[in-house]
Amino acid sequence: MAILLPLVAATGIMLQGWATIYFPGDASGTGSNLACVGAARRILGRTTLRASDFVIATRGKRRPFACGQRVRITNQRTGLSVYAWKLDTGPWSCYRGDRRITALKCPDTWHRRSLDDLTPAVAAAIRHNGYERVVVDAATGGF
């Protein structure tokens, strides 16, 4: 199952894939500490995640979005978009059936279900249902 489809748009890189919702302390790997420490300190004034933050976590071999980059997230079902900051890495959950583990690399026969993690604030703004497709691209406006 492919979950990552990099596209090149007029504004730069665009990722299309499944997103989930994460929040401080959800055992997603980082707890409530953001991976992009310097950027988080500069943008939020702190390095801990809050559910009300407009923050996303992305991963991938090419890591198309740098720490601290502003991105636009669009829910493909609703068509709603919101701007957020890429201040974390992940999601790091691996699944096999109903079982879930957290790992940098999934073991054989395990797989990832999502490309992006959204905070509850981002998810609410685009009416994300918890597990559905989104498009993430480099922000050119907003804030």
Contact assessment for residue 85 and residue 43, using Cβ atoms and an 8 Å cutoff: yes
Quote the pLDDT of residue 38: 93
- Please name the residue that has the structure tokens 């992009």: 36
Instruction: Give the model's confidence band at 98: pLDDT under 50 very low, under 70 low, under 90 confident, else very high.
Output: confident
Does residue 37 sit in helix, strand or coil? helix
Contact assessment for residue 72 and residue 59, using Cβ atoms and an 8 Å cutoff: no
Exposed / middle / buried, residue 93 (Cβ in 10 Å: 0-12, 13-18, 19+): buried
What would the mean pLDDT of 16-21 be, rounded to a whole number?
84
Q: What is the rounded average pLDDT for all residues in the chain?
A: 80
Please say if the pLDDT value at position 59 is more than 80. no
Task: Please give the Cα distance from 20 to 114 (Å, whole number).
Answer: 6
Q: Which of 59-68, 105-114, 131-140 has the weakest average pLDDT? A: 59-68
Instruction: Give the model's confidence band at 89: pLDDT under 50 very low, under 70 low, under 90 confident, else very high.
Output: confident
Could you count the other beta carbons within 10 Å of the beta carbon of residue 50? 14
Quote the pLDDT of residue 64: 75
Encoded tokens for 76: 């493909």
Q: Where are the beta strands (DSSP E) in 2-130?
A: 5-9, 12-21, 55-58, 70-75, 81-89, 93-96, 99-102, 116-118
Model confidence over 117-134: pLDDT tens digits? 899 999 999 999 988 899
What would the mean pLDDT of 107-124 be, rounded to a whole number?
86
Quote the pLDDT of residue 134: 93
Quote the pLDDT of residue 71: 93
Instruction: Give the model's confidence band at 24: pLDDT under 50 very low, under 70 low, under 90 confident, else very high.
Output: low
